[in-house]
Amino acid sequence: MKVVFADTGYWVAVLSPKDDWKERATAASRTLGKVRIVTTEMVLDELLAALSKVPVRATVIRGVDAIRSNPNIEVVPQTSLQFGEAFEAYRRTMDKEWSLTDCASFALMKARGLSEALAHDRHFEQAGFVALLRA
């Protein structure tokens, strides 16, 4: 089964009714067919922060509950080791505008041999991955 990474921008597009990337996120989901999705608690943290305003807050809470309980979605826990490795990558990439979550996501993708991400963030392309919402 194909495995892809899901970034914050994808989840925002899926859960936010007025997001500019909603149509592309929906189309990408349909195109992939049966797929296993990998995301992280760091990504979900960004998602909850991005959609923390009322009245969307209730929608994002239901969405994160659905993500966490979906057997086809693996949510990788945040650990102190992951944070440290991501912070070192963040420190090494002074010429980039990558977030700490980006750095952790890239490290996970490399470790798992993943090349595609449900993402519209050009930073994924800079790091050598395919951002499926941009393709």
According to the model, what pLDDT value does residue 17 have? 82
Q: Report the percent of the chain where pLDDT is more than 70.
A: 99
CATH of 2-131, one of 3.10.580.10, 3.90.650.10, 3.40.50.10860, 3.40.50.1010: 3.40.50.1010
Domain spans in the chain, listed from the N-terminal domain onward? 2-131
What is the pTM (predicted TM-score) of this model? 0.95
Q: Measuring CA to CA, how many Å separate 131 from each of 91, 113, 115, 117, 128?
A: 23, 15, 9, 5, 9
pLDDT digits (tens, 9 = 90+) for 55-67: 899 999 999 999 9
For residue 128, the tally of other CB atoms under 10 A from its CB is 10
What pLDDT is attached to residue 18? 85
CB within 8 Å of 72: residues ≥ 6 apart: 35, 36, 37
Confidence of residue 114 (pLDDT cuts 50, 70, 90): very high
